[in-house]
Amino acid sequence: MAELREVQITEEKPLLPGQTPEVAKTHSVETPYGSVTFTVYGTPKPKRPAILTYHDVGLNYKSCFQPLFQFADMQEIIQNFVRVHVDAPGMEEGAPVFPLGYQYPSLDQLADMIPCILQYLNFSTIIGIGVGAGAYVLSRYALTHPDTVEGLVLINIDPNAKGWMDWAAHKLTGLTSSISEMILGHLFSQEELSGNSELIQKYRNIIAHAPNLDNIELYWNSYNNRRDLNFVRGGDTTLKCPVMLVVGDQAPHEDAVVECNSKLDPTQTSFLKVSNPIPHSPGKLTEAFKYFLQGMGYMASSCMTRLSRSRTASLTSAASIDGNRSRSRTLSQSSESGTLSSGPPGHTMEVSC
Ligand code: BEZ
């Protein structure tokens, strides 16, 4: 059994009216691939999975998920679940820089650390939310431990290994760009980067001046050396649980996510396109996550706000009008009109937001 260290941290968090403070506890657990740190919010709820998140390269759990998990509408959802936010090794706040020559875990090994976390917490099942590299890690975990994953929200996933063309482009970019610029190019679209908004400036600054930039580079290298997930629709190598694939419009990974959608079970997979950068425009993602949980039987419409209930009613009727649940469901959001459309391709139902 893994050796355990525990650090208790009570975090400051803006509260909404009527909310009681939730204590966040940060733990570290030793695994065959080194130590991993994770932060638990809330208390376990009987007969409910934990929500487990895994962040992208260049970020940690807070910079990746705080905008989503502290979004006001998200509160009525997450209060029903305990949350486990994993920091990839060396990405936790205050992490020391790994010594020269340190062998950073591969993404597959990062996935293999997750059972140690769940065993430590005595949690049997999860709903995973992963972004980029984190989405890959959670998918790999789901392939090897399908019985413990009740659902997955995969944001900007690229399930493919880099081909030689990608490597050539990567090497060329590496000649002229710093690691932090390359990571920014992974996190944001070219349009966003050239727009240089306050948000981009903030992330450019955070990553370029990160005291653990050397650790970040190691996670980045593991991401670039990932194996192909080899999803095969109807084959053995496929995700068995409900999956919500999310991609930002103009995101660098759009084609990869579309291809991933084509390889997963259409009866279990929904595809959602939202405006970028995703975790910073959490409204539509929150709403789609509610539907996703509801589909899994976890968010009774009585738990929802009146507005959400009316939207859900529209959505449910869309599915029954179509009368065919064996096709992939597409949820697409138009940023201009502020509408959320739902239903299988070719049959779109609009629900105004
Ligand atoms: C949470 O409530 O789960 C949470 C709070 C702050 C940052 C990330 C997650």
Q: 166-198 pLDDT, tens per residue?
A: 778 877 777 778 999 999 999 988 888 998 889
pLDDT of residue 141: 98
The percentage of the chain sitting over the pLDDT mark of 70, rounded to a whole number, equals 79
pLDDT, mean of residues 58-71: 95
SS3 of 86, please?
strand
pLDDT digits (tens, 9 = 90+) for 191-218: 889 988 898 999 999 999 999 999 999 9
Distance 231 CA to ligand 1 centre (A): 31
Place of tokens 């600054």: 205
Band of pLDDT at residue 21, cut at 50, 70 and 90: low
Q: Which fold has domain 25-300?
A: Rossmann fold (3.40.50)
Mutate to test the pocket of ligand 1, among 13, 68, 93, 153 (most ligand atoms within 8 A of CB): 13
pLDDT of residue 304: 55
Q: Which residue's alpha carbon is nearest to atom 4 within ligand 1?
A: 69
Helix (H) or strand (E) holding 316: helix 306-322
Q: Which residue's alpha carbon is nearest to atom 8 within ligand 1?
A: 66
Distance 82 CA to ligand 1 centre (A): 10
Q: Which of 91-95, 168-172, 295-299 has the least mean pLDDT? A: 168-172
Extract the tokens encoding 147. 């019985």
Per-residue pLDDT at 30 exceeds 90: yes
Total-model pTM: 0.84
pLDDT of residue 325: 36
Of residues 301 and 321, more confidently modeled:
301
Mutate to test the pocket of ligand 1, among 51, 65, 131, 153 (most ligand atoms within 8 A of CB): 65
Q: Which of 11-15, 41-45, 136-140, 296-300 has the least mean pLDDT? A: 11-15
pLDDT of residue 286: 94
The atom number, within ligand 1, closest to the CA of 83 reads: 3
Distance, in Å, from the CA atom of 275 to the CA atom of 161, rounded to the nearest integer, reads 26
Ligand 1 pocket list (CB less than 6 A)? 13, 41, 62, 65-66, 69-70, 78, 83, 85
pLDDT of residue 154: 97
Of residues 23 and 322, more confidently modeled:
23
pLDDT of residue 196: 85
8 Å CB contact between 248 and 278: yes
Distance 20 CA to ligand 1 centre (A): 14
Per-residue pLDDT at 349 exceeds 60: no
Half-sphere exposure of 221 (CA within 13 A, CB side): 10
Band of pLDDT at residue 4, cut at 50, 70 and 90: low
> Hey, where are the domains in the chain?
25-300
SS3 of 312, please?
helix
Per-residue pLDDT at 353 exceeds 70: no
